[in-house]
Structure 1
Amino acid sequence: MPSPASKAAPQVPATGTRRFVFLLLDRFTMLAFASAIEPLRIANRVAGRPLYAWVLAGEGGETATCSNAAAFRLDMGLDEIDREDVVLVCGGVDVQRATTRAVLNWLRREARRGVILGGLCTGAYALARAGLLDGRRATIHWENQDGFVEEFEEVRLTRSVFVMDGNRWTTAGGTSSLDLMLRVIAADHGEDLANTVADQLIYSTIRTDQDTQRLSIPTRIGVRHPKLAQVIRMMEGNIEDPLSPADLAERVGMSARQLERLFRRYLNRSPKRYYMELRLSKARNLLMQTDMSVINVALACGFASPSHFSKCYRAHYATTPYRERGSQGASPAAFVSAPPTRLQA
């Protein structure tokens, strides 16, 4: 007896099997990888035939270990693939170290042959490092955006959940891979099949490339106050050249004293303190994710002098910027810092 899924299977055009090559970098993120490969499996099951095939590739061709220490047996090394294949680079923790010379050479070679190349989670870093995203729109996990912007000025970085710019695809990580693959399935075999796959995954809200990866500011801080959200948005957009509390207050039509009371009431801190924490959070990301000098990090985060930066950094993180980079330099992507969040209502 056919399964319920096969009974409800939509009509799928009779086309050939499309193959995906998942390039698993060392310490890749399992969730982003699983969210990409499972829609393909389910599409095959629903359609009742192999619409998609996939292989796992990696340097050395033997095994790849993801960030949670699970190991995967690889099907191939950095071998030549078919031009019709789609390569998805699966990145994760410490992607800088995992992006080796051999990986870069392989990506560049396949790009010259016209292969579609994508980056899942921090996989966009490998594509950018290979020079394959220059002049393209792309995205990467929000924690890695600060360092990415500083290192790859030629890339038009967005905060979208995923981006498909011609034959370059990138996702922000996590479940955003699922949104990308549902878009691919819809383009290949129709919206009905993509929606059926989403239903099988209990995925009720399919996002598009117009959706941003982070929660809205009110949701993130747990406060629904339009003027507070507006001020925080201005703070996040002016890290290198900070605005004064008076300027912020004037731009939202209130006095500096009213702004102070607003922050105290909802966030239990002053506007100045909240702004400082945002700047220090970005500074920590840059220290962990880039090779920028401490002086340049300080300037990029609105500090006029390294000594003032070091003093503020030590007061907040109980260590100096120099020691931070020295102690964590072996794994920069593992220690990104989150922006300040709500303390109390």
Structure 2
Amino acid sequence: MAKSARFYSPLISKNRAFIDMGDGEAAIVGKRRIAFVLFDHFSLMAFTGALDVLVTANLVKAPVQYHVMVVSIDGRRAMSDLGIEVAVDGALSDLREETLDCLMLCGGYRLAMRSYPCLTAKLRAADYAGCLLGGLWNGAYFIAAAGLLDGYECAFHPDGRAMMAEEFPGVTISAQNHVVDLERASCAGANSSLDMMLSIIRRDCDAACIAAIEEVLSCDKAPKALDISAISVDQDLTLPPSLKSALELMHHNIDEPLPVGELAACVGVSRRQLERLFGNCLKTTPARYYLELRLTRARQLVQQTNRNLADIAVATGFVSISHFRRCFGQLFGMSPGRFRKASRKD
């Protein structure tokens, strides 16, 4: 099926990582090299949160490919705050700052705030080369100590804000959980590292790509995480009640889809009103959204179970296997059987 026939709706972010799997990958228009410096007692959660954004961006076919290097000051394994050692790719001295786009310092609650002359020199060289300099938790201390944060706004762990204000009066200490200020980035703790890195890569990625990353990483931030709807819809408190009710009915009637007219009657609006609500709020039609919702469930079953395709077609409301295959191919660029094989390759 031609690509022009593809579906486009808020659910595209739920499936972006799987569209055209193994064939017709999205064009990579750029590359970014990001280095993390790990100190002993670094926050493992802060590090993995930031790293997860970059790995997921590559998985959902971001237009920019992110290459990550992890180093310690001396090149030895770094001990995290949880007592888990993390292998590194080398020592700080191995970094070639002229090849880097971002140098990120990963701090932690028990990290000693002291000077590392080699780190100061590397930070200044990286700044001269045009790198974005970032600090996780209290990692921004070292950027400030190198004289590279004066005039910038900085997020910092609350326990260290008084110290930062005392030692570095030229730095604006923010109460925000993360800050990206020109070529400086910082976050105040473990939970905010993910949001900080998302803010950084917004420079490279469009809104659809960011939505796809958030769909993977932020689906459980709300008290309830639905399995096939999209977080951009689930967590939108501004949607009209009748539209929310229609979406809920769709979600609970996957195997036996309700006609659009019946959906409208169930939520107390006319079919035309329901179509207008979908167009205004979700930029799609009820029929198309419903179809993609069912195909998303089908994709999960094809990918994660051994059920035969005929059973999956019935379970997702398709009256014939041929119609199922055709619709599946329109969205994912390949047949469900081929998709299953591709998704299970090592």
Measure, in 2, the Cα distance between the counterparts of 1:155 and 1:83: 28
Partner of 2:205: 189
Partner of 1:7: 18
Q: Does 1:198 align with 2:214?
A: yes
Q: Does 1:77 align with 2:91?
A: yes
1:204-257: CA deviation from partner (whole Å, max 9, x where unpaired): 669xxxxxxxxxxxxxxxxxxxxxxxxxxxxxxxxxxxxxxxxxxxxxxxxxxx
Q: Contact 2:150 / 2:170 at 8 angstroms: preserved in 1?
A: yes
**1:156, CA displacement in angstroms?**
0.8
**1:95, CA displacement in angstroms?**
3.3
From the superposition, tell whether residues 78 and 69 of structure 1 become closer, same or farther in structure 2 (CA, over 3 Å): same
From the superposition, tell whether residues 37 and 195 of structure 1 become closer, same or farther in structure 2 (CA, over 3 Å): same
**1:117, CA displacement in angstroms?**
0.6
Q: Does 1:165 align with 2:181?
A: yes
Q: Which amino acid aligns with 1:137?
A: E
| Identity within the alignment, % | 29
From the superposition, tell whether residues 105 and 95 of structure 1 become closer, same or farther in structure 2 (CA, over 3 Å): farther
Q: Which amino acid aligns with 1:157?
A: I
**1:56, CA displacement in angstroms?**
0.3
Counterparts of 1:130-141 in structure 2, within 5 Å, are 130-141=146-157
Q: Hey, which bits of structure 1, 4+ residues long, moved more than 6 A?
A: none
Q: Contact 2:180 / 2:199 at 8 angstroms: preserved in 1?
A: no
Counterparts of 1:177-326 in structure 2, within 5 Å, are 177-203=193-219
Measure, in 1, the Cα distance between the counterparts of 2:129 and 2:28: 27
What is the aligned counterpart of 1:21 among 35, 38, 59?
35
Q: Contact 1:161 / 1:171 at 8 angstroms: preserved in 2?
A: yes
What is the aligned-residue RMSD (CA, Å)? 2.7
Q: Contact 2:29 / 2:63 at 8 angstroms: preserved in 1?
A: no
SS at match of 1:197: helix
Q: Does 1:147 align with 2:163?
A: yes
Larger Rg: 2
Partner of 1:87: 103
Partner of 1:268: none
Q: Contact 2:179 / 2:186 at 8 angstroms: preserved in 1?
A: yes
From the superposition, tell whether residues 155 and 97 of structure 1 become closer, same or farther in structure 2 (CA, over 3 Å): closer
**1:84, CA displacement in angstroms?**
4.1
Higher relative contact order, chain-length normalized (CA < 8 Å, sep 6+): 2
Q: Which amino acid aligns with 1:183?
A: S
Counterparts of 1:94-133 in structure 2, within 5 Å, are 94-97=110-113, 99-133=115-149
Q: Contact 1:183 / 1:194 at 8 angstroms: preserved in 2?
A: no
From the superposition, tell whether residues 36 and 172 of structure 1 become closer, same or farther in structure 2 (CA, over 3 Å): same
Q: TM-score, normalised by structure 2?
A: 0.54
**1:71, CA displacement in angstroms?**
0.9
Equivalent residue pairs, number: 204
1:290-314: CA deviation from partner (whole Å, max 9, x where unpaired): xxxxxxxxxxxxxxxxxxxxxxxxx
Q: Contact 2:28 / 2:63 at 8 angstroms: preserved in 1?
A: no
SS at match of 1:132: coil
Q: Contact 1:186 / 1:192 at 8 angstroms: preserved in 2?
A: no
Measure, in 1, the Cα distance between the counterparts of 2:121 and 2:32: 24
**1:102, CA displacement in angstroms?**
2.1
SS at match of 1:107: helix
SS at match of 1:96: coil
1:142-192: CA deviation from partner (whole Å, max 9, x where unpaired): 121122111111101111121111111111121211111222333212111
Q: TM-score, normalised by structure 1?
A: 0.54
**1:63, CA displacement in angstroms?**
1.3
1:5-57: CA deviation from partner (whole Å, max 9, x where unpaired): 53358x96631221110011221111111110001111111118871110101
Partner of 1:67: 81
Measure, in 1, the Cα distance between the counterparts of 2:217 and 2:193: 13
Q: Which amino acid aligns with 1:69?
A: G
SS at match of 1:27: coil
Measure, in 2, the Cα distance between the counterparts of 1:117 and 1:102: 16
Q: Does 1:46 align with 2:57?
A: no
From the superposition, tell whether residues 158 and 13 of structure 1 become closer, same or farther in structure 2 (CA, over 3 Å): farther
Q: Which amino acid aligns with 1:71?
A: E
Of the structure 1 ranges 158-167 and 13-22, higher mean CA displacement relative to structure 2 is found in 13-22
**1:114, CA displacement in angstroms?**
2.2
Measure, in 1, the Cα distance between the counterparts of 2:64 and 2:37: 21
**1:77, CA displacement in angstroms?**
1.2
Measure, in 2, the Cα distance between the counterparts of 1:99 and 1:42: 34
From the superposition, tell whether residues 106 and 48 of structure 1 become closer, same or farther in structure 2 (CA, over 3 Å): closer
Q: Which amino acid aligns with 1:6?
A: A
Q: Contact 1:12 / 1:189 at 8 angstroms: preserved in 2?
A: no
Q: Contact 2:133 / 2:183 at 8 angstroms: preserved in 1?
A: yes
Partner of 1:35: 49
Measure, in 2, the Cα distance between the counterparts of 1:88 and 1:162: 14
